[in-house]
Amino acid sequence: MNKRPGILFDRRYYEHSIPQLSLENAGRVRSLYHTLEGPKYRDRLRAYHPREASVAEVESVHSSFYLEQLREHVNTADPYSYDRDTYLMEQSIFTAALAAGGCLELADRIMGGEIDHGFALIRPPGHHAEPGRGMGFCVFNNVAITAEHLRRVHGLQRILILDFDVHHGNGTQSVFYETEQVFFISIHQEKLFPFTGERQEVGGGKGRGYTINLPVHQQFADLEYLYLLSKVLGGVVEQYLPQMILVSAGFDGHCEDSISKILLTTHWYATVTELLKHLAHEACNDRLLFVLEGGYNPLSLEASVLATVDSLLQPAGRRPGVIHSERAAKILDNHPLHAFWTV
């Protein structure tokens, strides 16, 4: 019998907010939260509330110096005194700790066998936050803190993180660049903020080969994205055998989100969720956790998240069929990943 997926959201995430205009704001998720509380989803999902991540849990990824910097900047009059994109105000550190803690709550529920799949609908996002600095709307690196928690508390030694946000997850990559215990895969639009994630970035030391970057061209859409991820994830999961799959789920590659020039449709997010469910079922006892990152058009964000949730609600099925894409196949030509993995 399939377990109900876990969902986590909390109105306290609205508290990270300023009067000035920002793409990353509480309005991104208000309607989405309301919909998930409605009759269509209320009895089909297991709803959870976040806890606040402890200082020790945050410092498993971030330096104490960075936390001290944040404390200094949250009390300044200018919310952009720390970074020109990443605003800070009185409630920011608490809300960021609640975001990270929400991910830990769902991870613990998955590891305890209470749920197989989960979606942490948190904010602020996290994948740009590096050990010593925040950037790109990100304060604490939620998915990295979760992976560290899985290693330290639950003893996992093979964790796969897929980041399909349209921007490269530079912060997550930097945390795990030299370890083989966390495999990081990012597909993102090339030459876009934060201007990292080149294909030559493959990891260092013991982590060499455990980072795969797939920078893609403008105008790539469902066909190209599904082809690339099916090929790469299929090969990597079969050989690496992750014990859990984490997803930095950014929805800013949607064709109706103006922040990028990628043309994914709402349907693609449902399809990639089917693929990830299939791979998690084959490799890691269905352990699969989505963590919200970007997505700045509230309408397309809500539609895409709900498509993902609807896919999580369906019984595990066959791996989605994939049509060959010559344009996407060229991305893999002479890619350095071939020195480490068969895809």
What are the tens digits of pLDDT across the range 174-199?
999 999 999 999 999 999 999 999 99
> Cβ distance 22 to 296 under 8 Å?
no
Which residue among 128, 167, 254, 278 is the active-site one? 128
pLDDT above 70 for 277: yes
pLDDT tens column, 195-232: 999 999 999 999 999 999 999 999 999 999 999 999 99
Clarify whether 217 is annotated catalytic: no
Give CA–CA dist 338/127, Å, rounded.
Answer: 26
Q: Please list, in sequence order, all residues whose beta carbon lies within 8 angstroms of the beta carbon of residue 287, skipping any fewer than 6 positions away.
A: 110, 111, 116, 243, 244, 245, 280
Spell out the alpha helix ranges (H) of 47-162. 55-58, 64-73, 92-111, 142-152
pLDDT of 275 reads 97
Phi and psi angles of residue 183, each rounded to the nearest 5 degrees, phi first: -95, 120
Q: In the chain, what are the helix, strand and coil shares in percent, each to the nearest 5?
A: 40, 15, 45
Give CA–CA dist 221/233, Å, rounded.
Answer: 18
- Got the DSSP string for 43-71? TTSEEE---PPPHHHHTTTS-HHHHHHHH
pLDDT of 318 reads 81
Q: How confident is the model at residue 111 (pLDDT cuts 50, 70, 90)?
A: very high
- Name which CATH class applies to 6-339: alpha beta
pLDDT above 90 for 250: yes
pLDDT of 169 reads 98
Give CA–CA dist 299/40, Å, rounded.
Answer: 18
Report the mean per-residue pLDDT for the chain. 97
Residue 49, CA distances (Å) to 9, 12, 119 in order: 6, 10, 12
pLDDT tens column, 146-172: 999 999 999 999 999 999 999 999 999
Tokens of 43: 């009895």
pLDDT tens column, 287-340: 999 999 999 999 999 999 999 999 999 987 788 989 999 999 999 999 999 999
Q: How confident is the model at residue 1 (pLDDT cuts 50, 70, 90)?
A: low
Give CA–CA dist 328/324, Å, rounded.
Answer: 8
Residue 67, CA distances (Å) to 75, 134, 138, 144, 325 in order: 13, 10, 13, 16, 45
How many other C-beta atoms can be found within 10 angstroms of the C-beta atom of residue 222?
19
Domain ranges across the chain: 6-339
> Cβ distance 129 to 92 under 8 Å?
no
Share of the chain above pLDDT 90, in %: 96
The overall pTM is greater than 0.85: yes
Cα angle, residue 11 at apex, residues 301 and 108 outer, rounded to 5°? 85
> Which residues does residue 7 pair with via DSSP β-bridges, in sequence order?
47, 119
Q: Please list, in sequence order, all residues whose beta carbon lies within 8 angstroms of the beta carbon of residue 30, skipping any fewer than 6 positions away.
A: 14, 298
For residues 28-47, average pLDDT: 96
pLDDT above 60 for 65: yes
Strand runs (DSSP E) across the chain, as ranges?
A: 6-8, 46-48, 117-120, 159-163, 182-189, 211-216, 244-249, 288-292
Q: 11: which DSSP letter?
A: G
Helix or strand (DSSP H, E) at 277 = helix 266-283
For residues 75-81, average pLDDT: 92
